[in-house]
């Protein structure tokens, strides 16, 4: 699953953190 995320005015670090959190949440929800 590849998702293209276009963010304007947001540091890459923040995007990576949010993305990682979303991934973790998805994994937990799948259980």
Is the torsion defined by CA of 3, 4, 9, 12 positive or negative?
positive
**pTM, whole model, 2 decimals?**
0.44
User: What pLDDT does residue 29 have?
Assistant: 74
Q: How far apart are CA 7 and CA 24, in angstroms?
A: 20
> For each of the chain's 31 residues, which pLDDT tens digit applies?
566 666 666 677 888 888 889 888 887 777 6
């Amino acid at each position: 699953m590849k998702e293209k995320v276009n963010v304007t005015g947001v540091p890459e670090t923040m995007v990576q953190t949010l993305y990682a959190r979303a991934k973790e949440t998805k994994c937990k929800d799948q259980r």
